[in-house]
Amino acid sequence: MKVSNELWAEQLSGKLPEPLAREIDIFETEVTLRKQGKLDERLFAETRLRRGIYGQRYDNGQRHDGRKVQEIAYPSGELTKGPNTMWDAPGMQRIKIPGGGLNTEQLETMADLAEEYSDGIAHVTTRQDFQLHYVHIDDTPSLMRRLAAAGITTREACGNSVRNVTACPYAGVCPDEVFDVTPYSKALSKFLLGHPDCQNFGRKFKPAFSGCSQHACGLTSMHDLGMIAVTRTENGKEKRGFETYVGGGLGAVPYQAKLFDTFVPPEELLPLAQAIARVFAARGEKKNRSRARIKFLIQDLGIEKFKELVLEERKNLRPDPRWTEYVKDAEQFREAPLRPGGKRPLLGSESFQRWMKFNTRPQKQEGYVVVTAALPLGDITANQLRALADIARRFTKETIRTTVEQNIVLRWVSQGDLSELHKALDAAGLGAPGAESIVDVAACPGTDTCKLGISSSRGLAAELRNRLAEKSFQLDESVQNLHIKISGCFNSCGQHHVADLGFYGVSRKMSGYAVPHFQVVLGGEWDHNGGSYGLPVIAIPSKNIPEVVTRLTGLYAANKKNGEKFKDFIKRVGKVELKKILEDLARPPANPSDRTFFSDWGDPREYSLSDMGTGECAGEVVSAVEFDLAAAERELFEAQVKWESGQVEQAGTTAYRSMLRAAKAIVKLESANVTDDPGQIVREFRARYYDTQKFFDPFAGGKFANYLFAAYEKSNEPYTPDSTRYLIDEAQLFIDAAHSCYNRVGTPASA
Amino acid sequence: MENRLAQRLPQMQHVNVKLLLRNPEQVDLEPLIPVFHDWIRDQVGEGLLLDVADYRHVDAGPGVVLIGHEGNYSVDNTDNRLGVRYNRKAALDGSNQDRLRQAARAALIACQRLEADPRLGEKLRFNGQEIEIFINDRLLAPNCDATREVFDSDFKTFSEKLFRESEYSMSYGSDPRGLFGTSVKAARSFTVTELLEMLG
């Protein structure tokens, strides 16, 4: 698209690191070959994904305009950049920022790219990356060259590869850390980037580092490979190491990482990661994407067997000097302040005091603080990026990091500069208080730009932020500190499982119309690196979610016991009671002529009207299928309650039964005579909905149906606490998929 | 090599034109969202229209953006200066005057439509005097004196045509990191229709 595309290679000649320059040249050639029809679309899709270039919503050339699906007549016609992905459709460019570390030149580069290739906004993700949206594929080689000139790569930002190595953004300055994990995260990131042993994974692989076990900042529990700093004394000397976890992950069914080793010394960090990668590449699932993350391999093998395989692999690795060189080089990493430390200001306006309370945190180095620029929904403008670069130069030695809460922090700020720094941030529109509080809602892109989005996570996040910002400082202190996280679908990019109040998008049919909903997920824990995962309680129409937040936070403020955390409060009150409190919000509106209920936040189009038939309101008649699906959800909820009270076997049986009930409901659409026999239900379901692909999710394919088949096959085996926990999640996803299937296939067959 | 590049630079492509609005504090951007969705449904703007991006939550940001293939439309609040903006993304043949005219026409027609849309409550109005012109490509047009020397006469020719009966003033942005561009302010006020007529 850009006229300058043909000039950037020349302009930056000799200014890029050679391997990156070569890498981008190769990709540019692949772009040309694809345009000439000489490169298969599937191969091109994988190659662009490995360079961080994702598709975006409507890139299949279709868009629902609120009335009907319209074909989008992209100028390049039938040319695609992947299966069912039109060449000219705008896409998303993800940009890896290892450990979230940035300098001012990089901030300014990001600003230029956001302005010239995107829509003026750079977006910080929940994994410390940046994303630019609405980027044309033709512009990506130039964009990559400009990033590379600033020392940034997009390589392996997506695809079945090692993704951004994240690290606690307070590493090196946090008073509670064991030691600074920054050097080790850098070494691992450098070592694994493009490593031959990491090129044949069935799915992505996400590593993370944390300096402590008690805070959230590193979120190691939900990563494929999680490293927590620990020390031990050997021969009277303190030695550094890592408590190492593997097989964590959110996604549709979240898994807590399992302890692999209590102490991995730094010199073993890289070879161990390499050995894990080799086992994952050799043994991980390749064909079935929904079972291809390393968490499934570990579940299938068991942690002990997995460990045995990895250690065997480690023994056989040919020694690589980089194992120690990279670590030693990285250990030279030092940060220093620009200005002498100072004293915390005692005076200041009310807004300054609020900002200091939420947006600054003391460093272990006396006289210094970390300052958070809270980015609404993770978004920052080009001008704000430049202003932030100016501020970072003025007050620090460019010690900047992105965070998993979608913010940017400045480290090594002298306390004596806080007043001036706040003024500078305020002038740039970055001085709002409330960082990491209930106002600081995190959200994935959702239906705004994501192909998988079901509900508008950003729309809801913006609405909650607006409402909460007005009153947040009057809220009870304990409520102010809660975390809200929203995903547009079950895939958990918004990290809803580890929030106090988590939401993920689902669709439901009401009064004959599809209505955007969110599942309310409660019981998650943000602290302890994402210490425990919440479970869905009830699906509520999107437009009623703000009321859910009001009720639950009000209830907590009024009824919590001394020092009781939200997670413990939820557990004490119990999900049965909580569901009762929210149940009325799940009902259709009293006045269905209020059409706003049938659209999503920030999007006035009526939500998915393709299944409306003649356009007449189907009235208030609720079909038998809807009743049956509601019953399945009720049953699943009972399973969850049983599981939480320790009745594992009953919980497993009940969750399985809820899946059968949902399957039967769907089968009845075509065959009213289906019995309660599980074998018959599964057979009929398979023949009518799986083999015909009618049940297939547009993106997840038969994944959710496979949950039913697996549950059926294992129904005679005893349920364990872990397997039941997973089954409950899978059953919820299966029932959600049944709702979606019903929305798609429409009216019941006449009996 | 530098000579070859130098021969091709600067260039005027990817022209942005922004029409500053009257009483910006009275303009509510929320009703723009359904308006832009309707534009996509009916494909009423110039070029292929694709999506709506809502950035109202960002301070002094792009506001609400109607994403198109050839160009984006927005009611943009960059630098806390609210205006109707057209951002030409696709390359355009013709002379520099042709490119300036295309972007200005696109912005003016968009503004005219918005002014006429009852959902915006007659609050969105061009202030009659101020437009900003940018070239959204730092390689083609870096923000420096050399670029200014090359394009100053183009901007003047264009402004004289646009504000035919009026004196005007021009100023350039000074931050070398910013986009190269100019702010033009007419001495008297014009309606959008008048400016469209001037453009021909």
Domains and CATH numbers, chain A: 5-149 (no CATH), 174-330 (3.30.413.10), 350-427 (3.30.70.3340), 437-620 (3.30.413.10), 622-751 (1.20.120.330)
Size of interface A-B (CB pairs under 8 A): 140
Chain B's closest residue to A381, CA to CA, is B61
Better pLDDT: A155 or A637: A155
List the single range of A72-81, A122-131, A692-701, B71-80 with lowest mean pLDDT: A692-701
Chain A positions in Cβ-Cβ contact with residue B138 (cut-off 8 Å): 112, 116
Judged by CB atoms closer than 8 Å, whether chains meet at A4 and B140 is answered as: yes
Do A180 and A330 form a contact (C-beta atoms < 8 A)? no
pLDDT tier at B46, thresholds 50, 70, 90: confident
Beta-ladder partners of B132: B18, B183
Do B86 and B75 form a contact (C-beta atoms < 8 A)? no
B151 falls within a domain: yes
B47 falls within a domain: yes
Chain B positions in Cβ-Cβ contact with residue A443 (cut-off 8 Å): none
Tell me: the pLDDT tens digits for A600-611? Answer: 998 989 886 342
- Please state the rounded mean pLDDT for residues A175-184: 97
Interface ipTM: 0.97
Chain A's closest residue to B14, CA to CA, is A2
Do B159 and B171 form a contact (C-beta atoms < 8 A)? no
pLDDT for A574 beyond 70: yes
- How far does A637 lie from chain B, in Å, by closest CA? 36
Distance CA A141, CA A145 (A): 6
Judged by CB atoms closer than 8 Å, whether chains meet at B4 and A2 is answered as: no
In this predicted structure, what is the pLDDT of residue A673?
Answer: 79
B3 falls within a domain: no
Judged by CB atoms closer than 8 Å, whether chains meet at B48 and A134 is answered as: no
Interchain CB contact of A393 with B (< 8 Å): no
B143 falls within a domain: yes
- How far does B169 lie from chain A, in Å, by closest CA? 25
In this predicted structure, what is the pLDDT of residue A595?
Answer: 78
Tell me: the pLDDT tens digits for A451-479? Answer: 888 899 999 999 999 999 878 888 999 99
B69 falls within a domain: yes
B1 falls within a domain: no
Interchain CB contact of A72 with B (< 8 Å): yes
Number of domains observed in the structure of chain B: 1
Percent of chain B with pLDDT over 70: 98
Judged by CB atoms closer than 8 Å, whether chains meet at B137 and A2 is answered as: yes
* Closest Cβ opposite residue A7 in set B59, B76, B139: B139
Do A154 and A170 form a contact (C-beta atoms < 8 A)? no
Judged by CB atoms closer than 8 Å, whether chains meet at A72 and B51 is answered as: no
Distance CA A412, CA A392 (A): 10
Do A183 and A330 form a contact (C-beta atoms < 8 A)? yes
Domain containing B15 equals 9-199
In this predicted structure, what is the pLDDT of residue B3?
Answer: 62
Do B84 and B5 form a contact (C-beta atoms < 8 A)? no
In this predicted structure, what is the pLDDT of residue A746?
Answer: 65
Query: What's the pTM?
Result: 0.90
- Please state the rounded mean pLDDT for residues A402-407: 96
Percent of chain A with pLDDT over 70: 97
Tell me what the pLDDT averaged over chain A comes to. Answer: 92
In this predicted structure, what is the pLDDT of residue B4?
Answer: 67
Chain B's closest residue to A459, CA to CA, is B54
Judged by CB atoms closer than 8 Å, whether chains meet at A383 and B78 is answered as: yes
Distance CA A490, CA A517 (A): 12
Write the DSSP symbol of residue A686: I
User: At A480, which helix (H) or strand (E)?
Assistant: helix A477-480
In this predicted structure, what is the pLDDT of residue B61?
Answer: 97
What the block records as the tokens of A340 is 């002498």
Judged by CB atoms closer than 8 Å, whether chains meet at A10 and B1 is answered as: yes
pLDDT for B1 beyond 60: no
B4 falls within a domain: no
What the block records as the tokens of A742 is 């019903």
Distance CA A256, CA A243 (A): 15
- Please state the rounded mean pLDDT for residues A716-745: 91
Strands (DSSP E) along A297-378, which ranges? Answer: 360-362, 368-373
Residues ≥6 apart with Cβ < 8 Å to A451: A55, A56, A57, A59, A60, A699
Judged by CB atoms closer than 8 Å, whether chains meet at A10 and B5 is answered as: yes
Strands (DSSP E) along A222-377, which ranges? Answer: 225-234, 237-246, 258-264, 360-362, 368-373
Tell me: the pLDDT tens digits for A220-231? Answer: 999 999 999 999
Chain B positions in Cβ-Cβ contact with residue A1 (cut-off 8 Å): 89-91
- How far does A455 lie from chain B, in Å, by closest CA? 15
Judged by CB atoms closer than 8 Å, whether chains meet at B89 and A605 is answered as: no
Distance CA A595, CA A607 (A): 10
Three-class DSSP category at B131: strand
For residue A68, how many other CB atoms are within 10 A of its CB? 11
